[in-house]
Chains A and B, each alone.
Chain A
Amino acid sequence: MTTRREFVKGLIISVGGASALSACGDAATIIATATEEGGQFYSSDEMALVSRISDLIIPRTETPGALDANVPGYLDALMSDWASAETQNYHREALKLISGQLDARSGEFLTASEPEAIAALSELDREAFEGGNNLDGYRSFKGYITQSYFATELGATEELKWVAVPGVWDPSVKIATGN
C-alpha cells in the first residue's frame, strides 16, 4: 500500500508534469510543505485530505488549479483566523465524515489511483447535491474551496478574467454556445 508520503511524491510529480505553467513549482512546494507540517489549523492528515479534494474539484487545466492558487493554505488561514470555535468544530467533523465516506468508497482515498479517487469523490458529490442526507458539511467545504479559489489572484484573473475597472455597463453580451 502506498504511504501518504509516497502519495505526496506522486502528486508532486503529476503537478510538476504540467510544466507549461510557471506556478507549478510553487504548487509542488506548497503541497509538500503543507502535508509534511500541517497548517495553523489543519493537521498534516487533514491538510493532505483538503489538498487532494481541492485538486480534484478544481484541477489544473489550461488555467491554474486549486493547488496552484494555494487553496489549502487559504482554507487553513480561513479556519485558523476567521472561523469561530463552533465553525472550526463543524468543519473538522465534516472532514472526518468526508474522509470516512471517501475511504469506504475507494479503499484508502489518499492512496487510491486517480480514477478511483475521482469516482469516489464524484459519487459523494452527487449524493451531497441530491440532499436528504448528512452531507451538508461537504457542500459547505466545497463552497469554501470554490470561493477561495476565485478570491485568489490566479483564480480571479486567469480563470474568471476579473476586471478591476470595467468602465462600462453592457447589459447584453452574446456568448458562443459551449464556449
Chain B
Amino acid sequence: MAEAEFDAIVVGSGMSGGMSAKELCERGLKVLVLERGPEIVPERDYTDLLAPWESDHLDNVSQDEINERYYKQYGGVAYAIKESTKHFWVRDDEHPYEEAEGTSYDWLRGYHTAGRSIMWSRQTYRLGPQDFTANLEEGVGVDWPVRYEDIVPWYEKVETFVGVSGSEEGLDQLPDSVFQPAFELTDAEKSFKQKIEKTFDGRSVIPARIAHLTDATKEQLSLGRSNCQARNRCHHGCTFKAYFSSLNATLPAAKRSGNLTMVHNAIVRGLEYDTSTKRVSGVRVVDAETMEARTYTSRVVFLNASAIASAMILLQSKSESFPKGLANRSDQVGRNLMDHVSSAGVAGIMTGFEDQTVFGRRPSGGIYIPRYANITEKNKPFKRGFGFQGGARPLGNSSGQIAGIGKDFKEAHKRPGPWRFNVLAFGEQLPNPENRVTLHASRKDRWGNPVPVFNVSYGENERIMQREAVKDAQAMMEAAGCINITTSSANLSKPGNRIHEMGTARMGRDPATSVLNGWAQAHDVPNLFVTDGAFMTSSACQNPSLTYMAFSARAANYAADLISEGIF
C-alpha cells in the first residue's frame, strides 16, 4: 500500500471537526480537514460590525427569496436568518431533502468553514452521571460503553480551551464545568430564582452556561480572542472572537501547529475500504465548484460532518464487504436519530421592576433550570426529563405594538416597559431505531450524492413529558408572582428544530447492535472514528456541543496513541 498522504483526515470543520483537528495537530500529526462549503474569512464575512441602519429593509431577507431559497431554513430559524446572515445558512433549493409521508423534519445547517459553530446559540452543559446509565437501567436502546468519570478529564480540557461562563452550583445531575465568571442575573431573575427554590424543593434556577469569554486566559488571548462585549450580534459572527466557534478558536489553534491542511469545497462521495488491511484507505471527494473528483489518503479518518451527513457518508460507502454501508454490519447507521424536544413556551409579566433596566445586550442565555424530573422529583409519568432555558428582560416597545400616538408613544420606547419572563423546556428524546435517515433510491443532488429521506416522529414519552413540562412552567410562573401568563401553541417542536440531531452511529458494547465502541471508533473498521453527534447513545436533555467536543478530543488522543504505537 502506498504511503498515506496524511496521518489523519477530518471530514467537517464544525464544532466537533475543529476539536478533532486541533487535538490531532497538537499531537504532531499531519491533518487534512475537508470542508464541503466555501471558506469564511472573518474580516470579509462576519457582519457583526454593521450598525442597524447599515442594513436595508430591517435586515429582512426578501419574502420572495425566502420562498424560493430558504423555505426550510427560515421556517426553522427565522430569528437567525437575516439579510446580513443568510450566507451562513444553506439554500434549500440547492440542498434538498425528503420527508417520509406523514412526517416532517427540520434539517437546519450551514456549509462553510466552522459549520454551525458560527451560528449556534452557545449554551454549554456537561452531561451528568445519570445520563450514561439511564439506557441500561431502563432497558432502553443500548448501554453507553462509557461512564461519566471516563469523560471528566476531557470535559475539563475542552472547557479550559473553549471558555465557558457559568456559576459553580455543585449539582450532581449537571456537574460544574471549568468556568469563567457568569453573566449576572437580572433582579427579576433573582426574584424568580428565590421564589422557585423556596416553593419547589429540589429545583434550582442558575445562570445559563454559555461559551462566551468573560475572563479570557492567556491561551485564548494568544489566539486573538477577547472578552464578550455584550453586543448580542453573535449570529453575525464575532470580530472579538469572544464566543467559541471553530473559526474563532480550534481551527486557528490547529493551524498554528503547522500541521493543518484545509481544503474547502470538498464534498465527500464515499470512503474507500481496503479488504486486505480491513481499514479505510481513502476519502473520495468531488469539488463543489469544478466537479473535479479526487481521492485523499490517510492513516485514520474522523467523520465530523454532523450526525446526519456522517451517517449518509457511511451509507454511501457500500462495498462487497459492507453491502449496507461502511461500518454498518449492525444496520444501526442512520437509525436512532434524536433531537431535543420542546413544546409550548410559557411567558408572564413580572411586576415590581418598572424602575429599572439593563445596560448592554446579554448574549444568549439568562436562566437555566436544570433537570429535576426523575432526579430530585421521582415517579414522573414519563422517562428522563428536561431543562428549561429562559430569562427576564424589559420588553421595551420597539415593535410599536402598544396603543397611542405622538410624543407619549414615541417616548414610551425609551422606558423599559414591563418585564417579561419566559421559559422553554428542552427535553430528552428516547432512541428509537425506526426514527432514521436513509438515502433516496434514485434522487441525487447536483454533486451526484443521494438526497436524504427523513422518517422521524416523537413517541408517547416525549408527548407526556412536554405536557408535564408546560404544566410545571405555568406553576413556576404563578409561584414567581407573574401576571398575564400565556402559553404558546402546544404542539411539539418539529424533529430537528432544536438543531441537536444525534444518535445515527451509536456507541455500544456489542458490534451486533451498535456502530462505534467507547472510543467512538467503528467496531468494524478500526481506523475510522465518528465523533460528531452520531455517536450519542442517548440524547440526555443538555445542549450537546460540549459533549461532542469532549468525545472528539478523547478519540483524537486515542487515535494519536495508536498511531504512535505503530498500530496504524
- Asked if A170 meets B358 with Cβ closer than 8 Å, knowing A59-B410, A118-B406, the reply is yes
Asked if B401 CB lies within 8 Å of chain A CBs, one says: yes
Q: How many residues of B contact A (CB 8 A)?
A: 50
Interface pair B399/A143, CB less than 8 Å apart: yes
Point out the residue from A57, A145, A167 that lies within 8 Å of B360, measured CB to CB: A167
Interface pair B414/A160, CB less than 8 Å apart: yes
Asked if A173 CB lies within 8 Å of chain B CBs, one says: yes
Interface pair A78/B58, CB less than 8 Å apart: yes
Interface pair A59/B406, CB less than 8 Å apart: yes
Asked if A1 CB lies within 8 Å of chain B CBs, one says: no
Closest to B185 in A: A171
Closest to B62 in A: A82
Chain B residues, CB < 8 A from A128: 403
Interface pair B52/A167, CB less than 8 Å apart: no
Interface size class of A (residues with CB under 8 A): 35 or more
State the CA gap A11–B422 with chains docked (Å): 44
Chain A residues, CB < 8 A from B229: 165-167
Q: Per-residue 0/1 for B350-387: is the Cβ within 8 Å of any A Cβ (1 yes, 0 no)?
A: 00000111111110000000000000000000000000
Closest to A143 in B: B400
State the CA gap A173–B186 with chains docked (Å): 10
Chain A residues, CB < 8 A from B405: 56-57, 118, 121-122, 125
Asked if B184 CB lies within 8 Å of chain A CBs, one says: yes
Instruction: Identify which of A20-28, A33-41, A93-101, A150-158 touches chain B.
Output: A150-158
Asked if B416 CB lies within 8 Å of chain A CBs, one says: yes
Interface pair A84/B63, CB less than 8 Å apart: yes
Point out the residue from A77, A121, A165, A172 that lies within 8 Å of B187, measured CB to CB: A172
- Asked if A56 meets B400 with Cβ closer than 8 Å, knowing A165-B229, A166-B230, A175-B356, the reply is no
Interface pair B53/A151, CB less than 8 Å apart: yes
Chain A binding surface, main DSSP class = helix
State the CA gap A62–B357 with chains docked (Å): 23
State the CA gap A142–B400 with chains docked (Å): 6
Chain A residues, CB < 8 A from B398: 146-147, 150, 160
Asked if A14 CB lies within 8 Å of chain B CBs, one says: no
Chain A residues, CB < 8 A from B275: none
Interface pair B53/A175, CB less than 8 Å apart: no
Interface pair B416/A171, CB less than 8 Å apart: no
- Asked if A125 meets B231 with Cβ closer than 8 Å, knowing A57-B409, A82-B60, A169-B359, the reply is no
Interface pair A81/B57, CB less than 8 Å apart: yes
Chain B binding surface, main DSSP class = loop
- Asked if A139 meets B51 with Cβ closer than 8 Å, knowing A151-B58, A169-B362, A170-B358, the reply is no
**A residues 74-91 in Cβ contact with B at 8 Å:** 77-78, 81-84, 86-87
- Asked if A159 meets B52 with Cβ closer than 8 Å, knowing A84-B63, A147-B58, A172-B186, the reply is no
Q: Per-residue 0/1 for B474-489: is the Cβ within 8 Å of any A Cβ (1 yes, 0 no)?
A: 0000000000000000
Chain B residues, CB < 8 A from A167: 229-230, 360
- Asked if A168 meets B355 with Cβ closer than 8 Å, knowing A59-B407, A121-B405, A151-B53, the reply is no
Interface pair A172/B403, CB less than 8 Å apart: no
Min CB distance A58 to B, Å, is 5
Min CB distance B411 to A, Å, is 7
Interface pair B360/A152, CB less than 8 Å apart: no
Interface-central residue, A77, A126, A139, A165, by most chain B CB under 10 Å: A165
Chain B residues, CB < 8 A from A78: 57-58
Min CB distance B197 to A, Å, is 18
Min CB distance B190 to A, Å, is 9
Asked if B519 CB lies within 8 Å of chain A CBs, one says: no
Asked if B27 CB lies within 8 Å of chain A CBs, one says: no
Chain A residues, CB < 8 A from B399: 143, 146-147
State the CA gap A84–B62 with chains docked (Å): 7
State the CA gap A170–B53 with chains docked (Å): 25
State the CA gap A83–B66 with chains docked (Å): 11
Interface pair B67/A166, CB less than 8 Å apart: no
State the CA gap A156–B63 with chains docked (Å): 25
Chain B residues, CB < 8 A from A118: 405-406
Interface pair A164/B406, CB less than 8 Å apart: no
Interface pair B51/A156, CB less than 8 Å apart: yes
Point out the residue from B56, B186, B400, B402 that lies within 8 Å of A147, measured CB to CB: B400
State the CA gap A143–B403 with chains docked (Å): 11
Min CB distance A176 to B, Å, is 8
State the CA gap A40–B283 with chains docked (Å): 53
Interface pair B358/A173, CB less than 8 Å apart: yes
**B residues 45-97 in Cβ contact with A at 8 Å:** 49, 51-53, 55-60, 62-64, 67
Chain B residues, CB < 8 A from A146: 397-400, 413
Interface pair A125/B404, CB less than 8 Å apart: yes
Asked if A51 CB lies within 8 Å of chain B CBs, one says: no
Chain A residues, CB < 8 A from B192: none
Interface pair B187/A160, CB less than 8 Å apart: no
**B residues 397-439 in Cβ contact with A at 8 Å:** 397-407, 409-411, 413-416
- Asked if A166 meets B400 with Cβ closer than 8 Å, knowing A160-B413, A171-B185, A171-B187, the reply is no
- Asked if A169 meets B53 with Cβ closer than 8 Å, knowing A118-B405, A164-B231, the reply is no
**B residues 225-282 in Cβ contact with A at 8 Å:** 228-231
Interface pair A169/B400, CB less than 8 Å apart: no
Asked if B548 CB lies within 8 Å of chain A CBs, one says: no
Point out the residue from B57, B184, B404 that lies within 8 Å of A169, measured CB to CB: B184
- Asked if A166 meets B410 with Cβ closer than 8 Å, knowing A84-B64, A122-B405, A126-B403, the reply is no
Chain B residues, CB < 8 A from A59: 406-407, 410
Point out the residue from B62, B360, B402 that lies within 8 Å of A81, measured CB to CB: B62
State the CA gap A5–B414 with chains docked (Å): 35
Interface pair A162/B410, CB less than 8 Å apart: no
* 9 residue pairs bridging A and B, Cβ less than 8 Å apart: A57-B409, A61-B411, A81-B56, A82-B57, A84-B67, A148-B58, A150-B413, A152-B53, A173-B359
**3 closest residue pairs by CB, A with B:** A146-B400, A166-B360, A84-B63
List 14 additional contacts besides A57-B409, A146-B413; criterion CB under 8 Å. A61-B410, A65-B410, A83-B63, A84-B67, A126-B403, A142-B401, A150-B52, A150-B398, A152-B53, A156-B53, A159-B414, A169-B362, A174-B356, A177-B355
